[in-house]
Amino acid sequence: METGPTDSAVRERMDSKFRYVLIVAERAEQLMRGARAKLDLGGAKPTRVAQAEIDRELVDWDYGLAPIEEAEQILEAAAQEAAAAGEESDAADDGEEASEEGEAGVH
């Protein structure tokens, strides 16, 4: 008999049951699109195969970046771009001021 919902060590490492369902669903979708199964469960449906693969730790999964870290990275990159654009703008303004001063002295 396959492991039940409370028997998986993988499930204990996840932050919620919802995360487990999402990961199993993503793996099941991969199987339905043609990915090769890592287990042979006969005529089992892709969702059951995916669940067994996740429970037996045959599929690597990761949480990815935390939403806060990702947002901080985006804001940091935007700030760097703005700073770089500001430096270019300041250099262009300095050039315009110098040319205006030169024109004023010529007249």
* Per-chain mean pLDDT for the chain: 78
**Domain check: are 56 and 69 in the same one?**
no
Domain that holds residue 96: 65-107
Question: Model confidence at 93, in pLDDT bands (50, 70, 90)?
Answer: low
Residues 57 and 93 grouped into a single domain: no
Any residues with CB less than 8 A from the CB of 101 and at least 6 apart, and which? none
pTM of the model: 0.53
Q: What's the number of domains the chain is made of?
A: 2
Summarised one tens digit per residue, pLDDT across range 44-88 is 999 999 999 999 999 888 777 666 777 788 889 999 999 988 777
Q: What is the pLDDT of residue 107?
A: 45
- pLDDT computed for residue 91 by the predictor: 61
Sign of CA dihedral 95, 97, 98, 99: positive
- The structure tokens listed for 62 are 């990761």
Question: Both 57 and 79 in a single domain?
Answer: no
In this predicted structure, what is the pLDDT of residue 3?
44
Rounded CA-CA distance 26/32 in Å is 10
Residue 27 pLDDT exceeds 90: yes
Which pLDDT belongs to residue 73? 85
Which of 31 and 16 is assigned the larger pLDDT? 31
Q: Which of 19, 18, 26 is nearest to 47 (CA)?
A: 26
The owner of tokens 């760097």 is 80
Name the 3-class secondary structure at 6: coil
- What is residue 31's predicted lDDT score, i.e. its pLDDT? 94
